[in-house]
Amino acid sequence: MKYLGQIFIILLVSFVGELLNTLVPLPIPASIYGIIILFCLLEFRLIPLRAVKETGDFLVSLMQLMFIPAAVGLLEAWDVIAPNWLSYMLITIISTFVVLFVSGRVTQAVIRHSRVKEARHE
């Protein structure tokens, strides 16, 4: 029964993200709205982490399976992709390194900020 409640919370947040996607005229996917809403609810402790933790962990463990349909779709569209495969590969590699670099810098900044904050409280 606990898992049903957790799934309900996640689905409700996802539904609100879908509503925002419909109402707000920005090119932001509904899933991003949902992630931001869930983050804010957890960050401001409006929902305790234990209210979604087990189901969230389970869904994250299944995330690899969610890429299979996308990969199959790429294989089915190979005749469209084939003429430009090198461009796609270069864009993928470059964007991956950009994301890794930016993520690393943001993580370092957050760690530095938290250390400074901890030092002030001591």
31-70 confidence digits (pLDDT tens):
999 999 999 999 999 999 999 999 999 999 998 888 888 8
Q: Are 5 and 51 a contacting pair, CB within 8 Å?
A: yes
User: What is the reported pLDDT for 57?
Assistant: 94
Residues of the chain with pLDDT > 90: what percent? 72
Q: Give alpha helix (H) positions in the chain.
A: 2-23, 30-43, 53-61, 63-66, 68-76, 78-81, 85-121
Global pTM exceeds 0.85: no
CA distance 63 to 65: 5
User: What is the reported pLDDT for 1?
Assistant: 76
What rounded mean pLDDT belongs to the chain? 92
